[in-house]
Amino acid sequence: MALADLSPASLGHELRLSQSVRGELAADGHTIRFELEVTTERLALVGLTTLGIPLFELVQDKDGITVHDLMATDNVEIFKPQYLLGDFKMAYWPLETINLTLGPMRMRAVEQVVNGKLVRLLLDNNGQSVLKITYPVGGLDIGELVVRRYDLPYRLRIRTINVRKGPET
């Protein structure tokens, strides 16, 4: 089971985020807006241009994961939602839930504080970093969350515009 397959309910609470996300791959970078909503029954991720034009919609519910690419010819490869879902879950899901999922793959996630910032690392079966997430000091609604993948050399710079966390489930 991959991280993308974790159920929306496994987050443990409801979550609604509006974010500005800059994706960087090699020397190329693009910014789009994400609207993310997680309830116990479903996860929805919508990507919009900076002007608000819908690019894609990803929905995960009891029937699985569905992606509607609304502008296939103009969509940017770095923002393919099916690739990003696991990274988002790695950033927002509880560490224990992530490690239970990663165990059979002989991978693990660890957290540490570096220069006053919380850092979450995804380690392969040899202990090498595959992914690094650096959280902003003071909370998600204050600074920039950075997701950096080492196996696929890309980086996401995420600024949360609005966050609403619901009751625990």
Q: Identify whether the C-beta of residue 121 lies closer than 8 Å to the C-beta of residue 134.
A: no
Query: Which comes out higher in pLDDT, residue 146 or 74?
Result: 146
Question: What is d(CA 98, CA 143) in angstroms, rounded to the nearest whole number?
Answer: 24
Domains and CATH numbers, the chain: 3-168 (2.50.20)
What mean pLDDT do residues 122-140 have?
92
| Chain center to CA of 125 | 22
Of the pLDDT bands very low, low, confident and very high (cuts 50, 70, 90), residue 75 is very low
pLDDT of residue 128: 96
- Please state, in angstroms and rounded to a whole number, the distance separating the CA atoms of residues 57 and 34: 10
pTM over 0.85: yes
Q: What is the mean pLDDT of residues 85-104?
A: 95
Q: What is the pLDDT of residues 5-52, one digit of tens each?
A: 999 999 999 999 999 999 998 778 889 999 999 999 999 999 999 899
pLDDT at 72: 59
The pLDDT of residue 84 is: 86
Count of Cβ atoms closer than 10 Å to residue 63 Cβ: 8
